C-alpha cells in the first residue's frame, strides 16, 4: 500500500483538492491517504473541509494576524519538515500556485519525496501578474515529477519548458469535479441558500431583477484598481434600476475599506460577508452575470452557463478567452460598465459555450495514474 499525502492551505486549494481526497479514500485497498492543511486561510478553509466532510490528519495552523509572504513561506517550510518525517509518504500532492504549494514542494524536494502537481502548466509568463502566484506555480513545476494539467495548452506550456511528455497527464480541472459534487449535494439535500442573506435570496428569486455576482481580492488591484472597481459598480447600480449587485466582500482591509467607503450606501448593491463554498455555488448558479478576478471562478462559472467578466489584465486561463467563456475587462471603469450593460440588455442573451476545463472526471484520471505508476 502506497502512502499519499495531500497538502493544501487556502480555500481555493481545498475546494479543488477535496474531491481528490475523497477519491483516494475510496481506493483504500491501494492507498493510505492522509491530509495536511497549513491553514494559510483558516476560517474559509475550515468551511470547505466541513462541507466536503474531510478531517485533516495534520494541521500546521500557520495563520497569524498581519502575516506576510515571508511568514507563510517560512512557516510552511519548517512545519512540513516534521510532517514529512513523521508520515514518510511515497508521494506528496500539491495544488496550483499558492505559497503553501511552493513551500510544501520545496520541503518534499529537500527530503527527496516525489511531488505531484495538480493544476499544472498554467502560465502568464509575467511574474507580476498574478503576484506571487505565477512564480509559485513555475517553481512548483520545476520540482514536480507528475504534472496533472487541465488542458492541452497547459501541456504545451510544460513541453516548451522542457518537461518530459511522459510526466504530463491531461486530466481536466478538479474544480469541475468539486462543482458537480456540490451542485448535486445541494439538490439532494434541497438546500436553498443556507446562510445567504435573506435580502439576497429575495432578489435572486425575483424574475424582474437582474443580478451580478462580484468577487474581487487580488493584490495587483489594491489601491487604484479597487477604486475603479467601486466606481464601475456604483455607475451600474445607478444606471440599471432593476439590477442587484451581490458582492461578498473579502475581509482584507485593502479590499474591505474602499468597498465600504464607496458602495455601502447604494441600495441595490448588497455588500455581504464572504460566503462558504456551497452558498457561493448556490448564488453563482442563480446569478445572471459573474464579475470576478478569481482564477477558480473563471473555471466554474462557465459550467453553470454564466457570462464571466474577469477583472484582470492577463489571465493564465487562456483557453477560456479563446473559447469565449470569459472576457477580460481589467479594472477599467468603462470596460466593466459597457460589458455588463451589454449582457444586461435583453437582445444580448448569453449563449453558453462548452467549458474547456473538464467533464468532472479529473480526480478519477489522477488516481488511475498513480495506480498505474505504483503497480508498474
184 found inside a domain: no
312, 291 Cβ separation under 8 angstroms: no
The model carries a pTM of 0.84
Q: What is the pLDDT of residue 89?
A: 98
Do residues 211 and 146 both lie within one domain? no
326 found inside a domain: yes
Q: Is the pLDDT of residue 191 over 80?
A: no
356 found inside a domain: no
Q: Which of 260, 247, 246, 257 is nearest to 222 (CA)?
A: 257
Q: What is the pLDDT of residue 161?
A: 97
Residues forming the active site: 97, 119, 133, 217, 219, 250
Do residues 227 and 371 both lie within one domain? no
* Cβ atoms < 10 Å from Cβ of 125: 10
Do residues 367 and 294 both lie within one domain? no
Do residues 122 and 151 both lie within one domain? yes
More confident residue, 167 or 320: 167
Q: What percent of the chain has pLDDT over 90?
A: 76
How confident is the model over 71-89, as a mean pLDDT?
A: 97
Q: Is the pLDDT of residue 41 over 90?
A: no
Q: Is the pLDDT of residue 32 over 70?
A: yes
Do residues 284 and 227 both lie within one domain? yes
Q: What percent of the chain has pLDDT over 70?
A: 99
354 found inside a domain: no
Length of the chain equals 376
Do residues 229 and 370 both lie within one domain? no
Range of the domain at 46: 2-172+361-375
Q: Which residues pair with 310 in a beta bridge?
A: 292, 328
Number of structural domains in the chain: 2
Q: What is the pLDDT of residue 322?
A: 86
| CATH code assigned at 234 | 3.40.50.2000
Eight-class DSSP state of 119? T
The cell for 136 is 509559485
The cell for 5 is 499525502
Do residues 133 and 158 both lie within one domain? yes
Do residues 149 and 10 both lie within one domain? yes
The model's pLDDT over 265-296, given as tens digits with 9 standing for 90+, comes to 999 999 999 898 999 999 999 999 999 998 88
Q: What is the pLDDT of residue 366?
A: 98
Output the average pLDDT for the chain.
93
The model's pLDDT over 92-131, given as tens digits with 9 standing for 90+, comes to 999 999 999 999 999 999 999 999 999 999 999 999 988 9
Q: Is the pLDDT of residue 12 over 70?
A: yes
How confident is the model over 201-206, as a mean pLDDT?
A: 93
What is residue 83's three-state secondary structure?
A: helix
192 found inside a domain: no
87 found inside a domain: yes
Do residues 208 and 78 both lie within one domain? no
Listed in sequence order, the residues at least 6 apart from 30 whose beta carbon sits closer than 8 Å to its beta carbon are 1, 2, 371, 374
More confident residue, 326 or 317: 326
Do residues 319 and 239 both lie within one domain? yes
143 found inside a domain: yes
Do residues 240 and 270 both lie within one domain? yes
Residue 7 CB burial class (10 angstroms; 0-12, 13-18, ≥19): buried
Q: What's the rounded Cα separation, in Å, for the pair 336 and 159?
A: 36
Q: What is the pLDDT of residue 210?
A: 96
Which strand (E) or helix (H) includes residue 272?
Answer: strand 269-272
Residue by residue, DSSP assigns 152-175 as: HHHHHHHHHTT--GGGEEE---HH
293 found inside a domain: yes
**Strands of 210-215's sheet in order across:** 269-272, 243-248, 210-215, 289-292, 308-310, 326-328
Q: What's the rounded Cα separation, in Å, for the pair 132 and 219?
A: 9
How confident is the model over 39-46, as a mean pLDDT?
A: 88
Do residues 370 and 344 both lie within one domain? no
The model's pLDDT over 241-270, given as tens digits with 9 standing for 90+, comes to 899 999 999 888 888 999 999 999 999 999
Q: How confident is the model at residue 355 (pLDDT cuts 50, 70, 90)?
A: confident
Q: How confident is the model at residue 193 (pLDDT cuts 50, 70, 90)?
A: low
Q: What's the rounded Cα separation, in Å, for the pair 215 and 170?
A: 29
Amino acid at each position: 500500500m502506497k502512502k499519499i499525502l495531500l497538502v493544501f492551505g487556502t480555500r481555493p486549494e481545498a475546494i479543488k483538492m477535496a474531491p481528490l481526497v475523497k477519491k483516494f479514500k475510496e481506493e483504500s485497498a491501494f492507498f493510505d491517504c492522509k491530509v495536511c492543511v497549513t491553514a494559510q486561510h483558516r476560517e474559509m478553509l475550515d468551511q470547505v473541509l466541513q462541507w466536503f466532510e474531510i478531517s485533516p490528519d495534520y494541521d500546521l495552523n500557520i495563520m497569524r494576524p498581519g502575516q506576510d509572504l515571508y511568514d507563510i513561506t517560512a512557516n510552511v517550510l519548517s512545519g512540513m519538515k516534521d510532517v514529512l518525517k513523521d508520515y514518510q509518504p511515497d508521494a506528496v500532492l500539491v495544488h496550483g500556485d499558492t505559497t503553501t504549494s511552493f513551500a510544501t514542494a520545496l520541503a518534499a524536494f529537500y527530503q527527496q519525496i516525489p511531488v505531484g502537481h495538480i493544476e499544472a502548466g498554467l502560465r502568464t509568463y509575467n511574474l507580476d501578474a498574478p503576484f506571487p502566484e505565477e512564480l509559485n506555480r513555475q517553481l512548483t513545476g520545476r520540482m514536480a515529477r507528475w504534472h496533472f494539467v487541465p488542458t492541452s495548452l497547459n501541456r504545451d506550456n510544460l513541453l516548451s519548458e522542457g518537461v518530459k511528455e511522459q510526466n504530463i497527464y491531461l486530466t481536466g480541472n478538479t474544480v469541475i469535479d468539486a462543482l458537480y459534487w456540490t451542485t448535486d449535494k445541494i439538490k439532494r439535500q434541497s438546500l436553498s441558500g443556507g446562510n445567504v442573506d435573506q435580502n439576497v435570496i429575495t432578489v435572486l428569486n425575483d424574475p424582474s431583477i437582474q443580478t451580478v455576482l462580484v468577487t474581487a481580492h487580488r493584490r495587483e488591484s489594491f489601491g487604484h484598481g479597487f477604486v475603479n472597481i467601486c466606481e464601475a459598480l456604483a455607475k451600474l447600480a445607478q444606471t440599471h434600476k432593476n439590477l442587484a449587485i451581490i458582492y461578498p466582500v473579502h475581509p482584507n482591509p485593502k479590499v474591505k475599506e474602499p468597498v465600504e467607503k464607496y458602495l455601502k450606501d447604494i441600495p441595490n448593491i448588497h455588500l455581504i460577508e464572504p460566503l462558504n463554498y456551497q452558498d457561493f455555488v448556490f448564488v453563482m448558479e442563480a446569478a445572471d452575470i459573474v464579475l470576478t478576478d478569481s482564477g477558480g471562478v473563471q473555471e466554474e462559472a462557465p459550467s453553470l452557463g454564466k457570462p464571466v467578466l474577469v477583472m484582470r489584465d492577463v489571465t493564465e486561463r487562456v483557453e477560456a478567452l479563446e473559447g469565449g467563456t470569459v472576457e477580460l475587462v481589467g479594472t477599467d471603469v468603462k470596460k466593466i460598465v459597457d460589458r455588463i450593460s451589454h449582457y444586461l440588455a435583453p437582445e444580448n442573451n448569453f449563449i453558453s459555450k462548452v467549458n474547456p476545463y473538464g467533464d468532472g472526471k479529473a480526480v478519477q484520471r489522477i488516481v488511475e495514474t498513480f495506480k498505474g505508476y505504483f503497480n508498474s
